[in-house]
Amino acid sequence: MESISELNRRHGIPNQVSFCQDAHGFIHVEVNNPQSSARIALQGAQLTSWVPKGEEAVIWLSKQASFLKGKSIRGGAPVCWPWFGPHESQGDFPAHGFARTALWEISGVETQADGTTRLVFCLPETSVPKNQWSHATTLESRMTIGSHLEVDLVTRNLGSQPVTIGQALHTYFQVGDVRTIRLLGLEECVYLDKVEGGVRKVQEGAVSFTQETDRIYLEATEDVLIEDPLMRRQIRITKKGSASTVVWNPWIEKSAKLGDLGDEGYLHMVCVENANAAEDRITLAPGAEHHLWVRYSLAPISR
């Protein structure tokens, strides 16, 4: 791993992109351009903050989040890859794969003509546990940070056999009170209700929250809007290359068991995840690549 001074020398942009190291040894990229600010941990290439200028934070990070090497960070936008949820045959493999706790490298930083900042992260071969994943694949995360935020997760199959992956951008969004928000855009979608053991249901109307919610919406490709009356805004989630949308809030009892959400953390977050999960997993032919792309943007709403 390059030193902070070397990272700043090679990839820093004066008054816009810099690298720092916290007390736990985590290296973070800090972006501050005329349109927004952001922070990304090199562990997991995990976005932990995005704040458009003049707006409140869009991404939620738990006040109890622990930044420990090899441990997942509660909040932000973790990268779930190359499987989503528990591994289908190996119970001792980490949930949601190894990418979110692996150390990534930064391979490109630039200011674009429209004033946004583009960062490219790659998962090096040395960070892939061979006992968990022996396929010849590469993984990149390309972020564009500005008044909107884009993430393009790119998987390539360099091998001679097809490879099947599950994946998600497990993004936690900050909301005023989860009990007052609505999710629009999932109406009439079939979903797997994981709270009830994977029972298939059909969404009727907007999604609202009154209890623990853990759902995989299948063949869900439309934009999703998080309508937040307390924060007087809509968060629009636009995506390509994602056939599933995962919606999660742990509610009270599950939050207490997790231990790193805080007493009322669940009230101020909702996960809306762009995914290819369950029966929507992706199979890549030899030489093929797949893009899971998402754009987050804000719009005001009246009281």
Per-position pLDDT tens, the chain of length 303? 789 999 999 999 999 999 999 988 899 999 999 999 999 999 999 999 999 999 999 999 999 998 989 999 999 999 999 999 999 999 999 999 999 999 999 999 999 999 999 999 999 999 999 999 999 999 999 999 999 999 999 999 999 999 999 999 999 999 999 999 999 999 999 999 999 999 999 999 999 999 999 999 999 999 999 999 999 999 999 999 999 999 999 999 999 888 888 878 999 999 999 999 999 999 999 999 999 999 999 998 865
> How many other C-beta atoms are found inside a 10 Å radius of the C-beta of residue 24?
11
Task: Give the model's pLDDT for residue 262.
Answer: 81
- Of 11, 140, 268, 273, the catalytic one is 273
- How many domains would you assign to the chain? 1
> How many other C-beta atoms are found inside a 10 Å radius of the C-beta of residue 204?
8
- Of 11, 148, 170, 268, the catalytic one is 170
Mean pLDDT in the chain?
A: 96
We report the CATH number of the domain holding residue 243 as: 2.70.98.10
Task: Give the model's pLDDT for residue 259.
Answer: 84
Q: What is the token pair recorded at 52?
A: 């458009």
Report which of 18, 34, 267, 50 is spatially closest to residue 143, judged by C-alpha positions: 50
Contact 107, 121 (CB under 8 A): yes
Respond yes or no: is residue 2 known to be catalytic. Answer: no
Task: Give the model's pLDDT for residue 264.
Answer: 86
Task: Give the model's pLDDT for residue 120.
Answer: 98
Q: What is the reported pTM?
A: 0.97
Task: Give the model's pLDDT for residue 303.
Answer: 55
Respond yes or no: is residue 212 known to be catalytic. Answer: no
Contact 195, 212 (CB under 8 A): yes
- How crowded is the C-beta side of 114, counted as CA atoms within 13 Å? 9
Task: Give the model's pLDDT for residue 118.
Answer: 98
- Domain region containing 184: 4-300
> Angle at Cα 266 formed by Cα 263 and Cα 269, nearest 5°?
140
Long-range CB contacts (< 8 A, 24+ apart) of 2-6? none
